[in-house]
Amino acid sequence: MAQSIEFKAVEDGFELLFGGRTVLRHALDCPALAIARGRPDIEMVRGNFRIDDAPQGRRELAAWDAFDGGVRFDGARIEWDGPALTVTCDDPSFDRMYFRFHAELEESVWGGGEQMSYFALNGRRFPMWTSEPGVGRDKSTELTRAMDEAGMAGGDYYHTNYPQPTFLTSRWIAVHLDETCYSVLDFTDSKAHAVEVWSGTARFELFAADGPKGLVGQLADRFGRQPPLPDWAIGGAIVGLKSGASSFDRLENFVDAGAAIAGLWCEDWAGIRETSFGRRLFWDWQVGARSAARYPDLEARIAALADRGIRFMAYANPYLSVDADLYAEALEGGHFCLGLESDEPYLVDFGEFDCGVVDFTREETKVWFAERILGREMLDRGIMGWMADFGEYLPTDLRLADGSDPMEMHNRWPVLWAEVNAMALESRGKTGDAVFFMRAGFSGVQAHCPLLWAGDQSVDFTRHDGIGTVVTGALSAGLVGNAYSHSDCGGYTSLLGNVRSEELLQRWCELAAFAPVMRSHEGNRPDENLQYDSTPELLACFARWSRVHAALTPYVRALSDEAAATGLPLQRPLFLEYPDDPALFAVQDQYLYGADMIVAPVIEEGASQRKVILPGSGPWIHVWSGERYMPGTHTVDAPIGFPPVFYREGSAFAPVFARLPGALAG
């Protein structure tokens, strides 16, 4: 039976309880609700947003009186029904609300969607707005400052492709804001979990469980579970190459090196465009003249790979460049968002080329994109997956076909984009077989997107934008219902002289092997950076770890089936299995891979050992040496090629884990 909210009058105020826990406490000298009128100022440059507000007439709502199923203030009311609270301003001119949920001292908080810098959210505020995450994401670094000067592109710790206004606490409760507007989760006050909402109405959903696994399962039920990943996607590495027809020849070098290959991913399948940022794609998602020039006889090459059990994967995004052939077709079909003052398509500058924004609020447009592009141009040609990129760029000053406010639709846009991709798979009977992966998201994307990817990390070890952020991102996204995450093995963004090192490529292989999908990327400047086929040593490194990834297939298959049944993510924070140890609550640099494996990747440049926490009460086995370790904190040798990985003694999958050293050795 679903739990309900309980009202309790107390001295000078009231409390709301859920699942036996206090979730809101109101007093005259500490009101739970304030309202105001907003004065927003918003600027976008290539998916990077500057959002300011100067709210007017703020009112702290102190006086109250109760009625059946709610509380009335002077200017607003709170009503509850089952596990949900609805807050409404009586005067529609008030469009800002500031809500204070109860917090207890030492209570830990997680969530916020996919957060790349901080897993535990305590002490910081996190705006919920999908955007480019930025390059550097650390205002103290020269790289971030330079990117800010070049177009607000530096970012900060809270910038993310995938925000979600959901938070979980160590009292094993969760709160979800069921709105798409701009909002802020603010945990800077240890006595309150504050939520700022840019709307005159807000609905909050409450969840409670006996422990974190039950709570995560409820959230997965609420937002929708992904289908199990297909065997091919977890059974080897997906090699990312984008050098035209020579990509097929280069793939053979990986095969000859002994790599376990699941797929070849060529994001440049539709053509390329050289820009000052680097090698970009030509945004015309079809097999046309540009595609044929770069990949002659593509369908035949795809079929030949399929005969060998290797899938071909591609790329698409929800925009069309003005010089693309498909642009004219989309224009004739009325498929673009329009300007506010004209019936001309609204154009977005994506960096030296302009694009129209495909309008997914129009059902005919969703069907057209799913059928005409994803269906006929991709799936029907044998393409078995793709990067479904972007989704974060919807401007706030355009006109949508359904008349909705773009400020309300902006965060919803990645979900609509995911729906279109899922629609295409379903139309061809490929759900659970073909796989697309996305970086952008918001509440509800889980029901449509089968696989996350962590976005465009810098090609380095930096704290806020380097290799380690993919671990934090996977752990945070996993708590709100995303079972599967992976990253660009090798990183992506190379700017201002920041290029890949051999050490980075090696360490990223070690990390990627212990994710549900292992996929490499050549980055935005492939000619200036090392690639996995640049040297025999790097090629051998990739081959070794692809074999380790493939050797884990029986275990990952079981975890994938478990995720479909329970909603639990494959990459888990330590406390998910060991909730009684508060010392584990903020750990974000190692993870449980399922319940039986600990992965502690080396994410610091030059490190040859690292501290590892082994939780619980039973022994753990070091995968590479077979040495038995008791629970506790250990400093473990971790030279390149031997990252700290342990499995639980007595695991039913011990025979699988014991074969990993042999797979690594070849």
Residues involved in catalysis? 389, 392, 456
CA distance 354 to 396: 17
CA distance 383 to 404: 34
- Helices then strands, counting H and E runs in the chain, come out as 17, 43
Compute how many other C-beta atoms are within 10 angstroms of the C-beta atom of residue 429.
10
In a 3-state reduction of DSSP, which class is residue 536?
A: helix
- Backbone φ and ψ of 113, nearest 5°: 85, -135
Q: Read off the tokens for 282.
A: 């030509």
Q: Please check whether residue 151 is in contact with residue 48, taking contact to mean a CB–CB distance below 8 angstroms.
A: yes
User: CA–CA distance from 102 to each of 210, 215, 456 (Å)?
Assistant: 19, 18, 36
CA distance 430 to 31: 52
- Using only C-alpha atoms, what is the Rg of the chain? 25
Scan for tokens 């508060």, then name that residue.
Answer: 582
Angle in degrees, CA 217, 219, 225, rounded to 5: 75
Q: Please check whether residue 79 is in contact with residue 85, taking contact to mean a CB–CB distance below 8 angstroms.
A: yes
Buried b (16+ CB within 10 A) or exposed e, 321-336: beebebbeebeeeebb
CA distance 334 to 543: 48
Phi-psi region of 490 (alpha: psi -120 to 50; beta: other; left: phi over 0): left
Q: Read off the tokens for 359.
A: 């309008």
Q: Please check whether residue 117 is in contact with residue 472, taking contact to mean a CB–CB distance below 8 angstroms.
A: yes
DSSP-assigned letters across all residues of 31-68: -SEEEEE--EEEEEETTEEEEEE--EEEEE---EEEET
Compute how many other C-beta atoms are within 10 angstroms of the C-beta atom of residue 150.
16
Q: Read off the tokens for 240.
A: 């990312």
Residues whose CB is less than 8 angstroms from the CB of residue 495 and which lie 6 or more positions away in sequence, other chains included: 135, 143, 147, 277, 524, 525
Angle in degrees, CA 127, 129, 130, rounded to 5: 135
DSSP one-letter code for 539: H
- Backbone φ and ψ of 504, nearest 5°: -60, -45
